[in-house]
């Protein structure tokens, strides 16, 4: 009888421990959505052979490949060269209810000297979560030394103002700047951009 009681107690302890570990894992998990800008007939910006839709797709694929954090779950608003409306993107985001949304884009300008990353957040958010994430993203991008400078700006873009989750939009350099194009189209520096984004998400 004593042995039976010991076995029952051991099973109870193991079960409780397993449940506790699972709870901690769920609590620690970060869910992120990467909004991969443009796609399909909407190429976004273009410069010669390079298009915004392809650059952000390539970077998003590297994010998926480089994510080895078991506590970081990442979803993407499009795969391949699919055309996904802004309304459908927001619907997916709000259904998933993530901890953070990163919308990836590439800039362009008539002034070819314009360079660097621009990070946007919406002023319509009732708290400062998106602003804080934008500041963290700026820090990680600056630490990577990929761009000569980065700026934080305000804009009420569709994704930012309609997503219920904290959201930022990243303009990852300028297609119209020679140095930025080299950074945006080189597989190695694309991976560094992906790493900076992952580092940001992991620290929110």
Q: How do residues 48-61 score in pLDDT, each as one tens digit?
A: 889 999 999 999 99
DSSP state of 17: H
What's the residue count for the chain? 204
Q: Which CATH architecture is the domain 30-202 placed in?
A: 3-Layer(aba) Sandwich (3.40)
- pLDDT score recorded for residue 125: 87
* pLDDT of 4: 39
Beta pairing, strands 117-121 & 167-174: antiparallel
- Kindly indicate the confidence band of residue 148, based on its pLDDT and cuts at 50, 70 and 90: confident
Mean pLDDT, all residues of the chain: 88
Domain range annotation of the chain: 30-202
> What φ, ψ does residue 9 adopt, rounded to 5°?
-65, -40
Q: Which residue has the tokens 């761009």?
A: 147
Phi (first) and psi of residue 102, to 5 degrees: -115, 120
> Is-contact 47 173, C-beta < 8 A?
no
Structure tokens at 41: 């007939």
């Amino acid at each position: 009888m004593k042995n039976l009681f010991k076995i029952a107690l051991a099973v109870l302890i193991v079960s409780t421990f397993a449940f506790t570990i699972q709870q901690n894992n769920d609590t620690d998990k970060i869910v992120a959505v990467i909004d991969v800008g443009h796609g399909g007939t909407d190429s976004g910006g273009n410069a010669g052979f390079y298009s915004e839709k392809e650059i952000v797709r390539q970077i998003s694929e590297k994010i998926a490949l480089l994510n080895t954090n078991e506590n970081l779950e990442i979803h993407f608003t499009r795969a391949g060269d699919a055309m996904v409306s802004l309304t459908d993107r927001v619907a997916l985001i709000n259904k998933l209810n993530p901890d953070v949304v990163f919308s990836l884009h590439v800039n362009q300008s008539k002034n070819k000297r314009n360079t660097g990353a621009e990070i946007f957040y919406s002023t319509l958010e009732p708290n400062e979560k998106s602003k804080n994430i934008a500041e963290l993203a700026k820090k990680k991008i600056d630490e990577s030394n990929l761009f000569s400078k980065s700026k934080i700006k305000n804009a009420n873009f569709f994704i930012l103002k309609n997503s219920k989750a904290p959201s930022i939009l990243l303009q990852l350099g300028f297609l119209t700047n020679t140095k930025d194009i080299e950074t945006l189209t080189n597989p190695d520096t694309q991976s560094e951009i992906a790493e900076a984004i992952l580092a940001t998400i992991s620290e929110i």
